[in-house]
Structure 1
Amino acid sequence: MTPDDDDVDAARAGDEAAFARLAQRHRRELAAHCYRVLGSPHDAEDALQETLLAAWRGLPGFEGRSSLRTWLYRVATSVCLRQARRRPRLLSPDAGPPRSDVDDLGEPVPGPVWLEPLPEDLVDDRADALDPAAAYLRRESVELAYVAALQHLPATQRAVLLLREVLGYSAAETAALLDTSPASVNSALQRARGGLAQRLPARSQQAELARLGEAGRTALVERFVAAWERADVDALLQLLTEDVRFTMPPLPAWFTGRADVGRFLARRVFATPWRLRPAAVNASLGLLGEQRAEGAWPPGAVVVLGLRDGRVDRIAGFVDPALHAVFGTGSTADR
């Protein structure tokens, strides 16, 4: 018996409350799966809602040959693949050459074309208590670099990789989920691994965070926030790697290297005051920024910090206002 069994029987008989309990039980992990495939919490939520509607309509035909969880992943993966195939592949935030002109940041590129950050409350790490290794892997699989690398794979390869290596389904189970053969699954997995390996850093952020330790992470964030809020460019540069990258989708401009990043910070970013609030984003170090404007502090950016050897090697600043609703941020008054 599983916690789902009684509710499945009731839901199949038309009990909406029972189905709501089933949906709530699996919502978080399904949302994380949809995000990995699609790279956007907005698109993931749309896919999740379509998944739950399809599951409710299809539940009377669920015969119990697999667990309900596996059946829901089958439905969710099918929905995500349809979405992924009818939209353009996501752009890399560092597509094109870096800029040195800090006055021309280009026009925002609209539409669902950028990878978007994931709030901590949607990170599926429920396996932590029972299987820390599985939880560690799932947190790695929502890191920005991992999800960004996934978006370069064909949609089916993406799905195979996630089902096999993140969710732990066998080749035969994955083939059943995708209505294909184990041989096709194994072939797609081999190609996906090769494509992913070319784009991932040597160490994941989970490994970098573990090496730094809790005290080291706290100290780094405190120094970064303090330097940023007082617009101390020199202090910030001490925390950055020599080859640091600063990206800011949906703006196309990006900068690399301490000199250009420092000049951009001094001349553009710190032209107005900022406040930063630490927050876990994509299972990594993140910050929610507010930018001073007319006596208030409206949301300015969602920032994800990438680490390498104890320093910040990437600042991903997401400045799309639509993201603020996802992170529950809004304008605040002076304090």
Structure 2
Amino acid sequence: MPQTRRLLEPDFADDLARARRGDDDAFARLVAPLRGPLHAHCYRMLGSVHDADDALQDALVRAWLGLSGYQGRGSLRAWLFTVATRTCLDLVAARGRRALPIDLGPASERAQVDDRPRDDVAWLEPYPDVVAERRESVELAFIAALQHLPGNQRAALLLFEVLGFAAAEIAAMMDTSVGSVNSAIARARRTLADKVPPIPQQPTLRRIGDDRIRQIVASYATALEHGDAAALVALLTEDVTWSMPPLPHWYSGLPAVTDFALKLPLTACGSWRHLGSAANAQPAIACYRRAGAEGPHEAWSLNVFTLREDGRIAEIVSFIDPAVFARFGLPPRLP
């Protein structure tokens, strides 16, 4: 990534001097090119858009108040990511890790019709589809796997493999030794090797193509709206999984997923309508539900899909949280 100094010249030095004198507009101009990457970094660290918002706000306040600590010898980018990383590490220590239902226990073989939300779990949250340095770095499986790492390993891995900082830079950023950084990265890689699919979604999605992806998502929506079990099952892989945070139960394999679909979303949940979306650099669909015979369809869940090379759906994660819709610029209801 180009250094912020180069991005902002010839005004960088002038804005830096103004910001040090208390000009908040100048400070805003300095950090503007890095707001998106910083927010994405906070999300990777924390697994939550809400927490990432808090972390970024806190980090920028810290940076503003401590601007005298940046002497201009290194890149502003490195300095800001240092502040953001340390802010996130504080939050990781205070709030713990985010989870998906698969982290809580084994899959259910039959539909749990009396499933109840768990409010004692900090659930992983989906991320609005934005341009990232590496789109695979915000894929849902990668973000979920990161949550299994201690904070220092998480930070070292992301700074090295996603953001491209050298081990010596990371050691300075985390106030540790190069050896400790290299050890943290090696341990993180070993943990992620068992939890992240060997092939990320991005190459698969590129091979499938945008037109075919839109057809798959539209077919899913049509099957759900029409209560067509055969059409839905035809879209799924044999080893498909379906989870619905904050509901704790999840389903693995076509028989269990089919049983769940037949007993709940296809028959017992009322009427459905849908809007196409994207989350975590993956195809997604916003689901709106109407329980009765009349009235609008209300925001219900954001379904994020993982696809296989043949275009079938290998994983559905349905985030049942109407608050997600506002973050994605989606309406709260459909007339």
TM over 0.5: yes
Q: Which of 106, 111, 124 lines up with 2:115 in the alignment? A: 106
Corresponding residue for residue 181 of structure 1: 177
Corresponding residue for residue 282 of structure 2: 284
Please list, as runs of the form range in 1=range in 2, the aligned pairs for 1:81-230 lying within 5 A after superposition. 81-94=89-102, 95-110=104-119, 113-120=122-129, 123-125=130-132, 135=133, 138-230=134-226
Output the CA distance in 2 between the equivalents of 1:289 and 1:331.
10
Q: Provide the aligned length of Structure 1 versus Structure 2.
A: 321
Alpha-carbon distance, 1:105 to partner: 4.6
Output the CA distance in 1 between the equivalents of 2:260 and 2:137.
31
Q: Which of 52, 62, 72 lines up with 1:54 in the alignment? A: 62
> Deviations 1:70-96 (Å, cap 9, x if unpaired)?
100000000000100112322332121
User: Which structure 2 segments of 5+ residues have no match?
Assistant: none
Corresponding residue for residue 131 of structure 1: none
Alpha-carbon distance, 1:274 to partner: 1.1
Alpha-carbon distance, 1:116 to partner: 0.8
Corresponding residue for residue 295 of structure 1: 295
User: Which structure 1 segments of 5+ residues have no match?
Assistant: 126-134
AA aligned opposite 1:289: C
Q: Which runs of 4+ in 1 moved over 4 A?
A: none
Output the CA distance in 2 between the equivalents of 1:111 and 1:10.
46
Output the CA distance in 2 between the equivalents of 1:160 and 1:194.
14
**Does residue 27 in structure 1 map to residue 35 in structure 2?**
yes
Output the CA distance in 1 between the equivalents of 2:181 and 2:333.
50
CA gap 1:281/1:105 in 2 versus in 1, 3 angstroms: farther
TM-score (normalizing by structure 1): 0.91
> Deviations 1:186-215 (Å, cap 9, x if unpaired)?
111111111111101121110210221223
> Deviations 1:53-77 (Å, cap 9, x if unpaired)?
1011011332112111110000000
Contact 2:139 2:282 in 1 (8 A): yes
> Deviations 1:5-32 (Å, cap 9, x if unpaired)?
3322211111111112223321111000
Corresponding residue for residue 257 of structure 1: 253
Output the CA distance in 2 between the equivalents of 1:66 and 1:285.
39
Contact 2:113 2:264 in 1 (8 A): no
Output the CA distance in 2 between the equivalents of 1:175 and 1:111.
35
Partner of 1:72: helix, strand, or coil? helix
Output the CA distance in 2 between the equivalents of 1:172 and 1:75.
17
Identity of aligned residues (%): 47
Output the CA distance in 2 between the equivalents of 1:252 and 1:106.
7
Contact 1:298 1:332 in 2 (8 A): yes
AA aligned opposite 1:163: L
CA gap 1:145/1:196 in 2 versus in 1, 3 angstroms: same
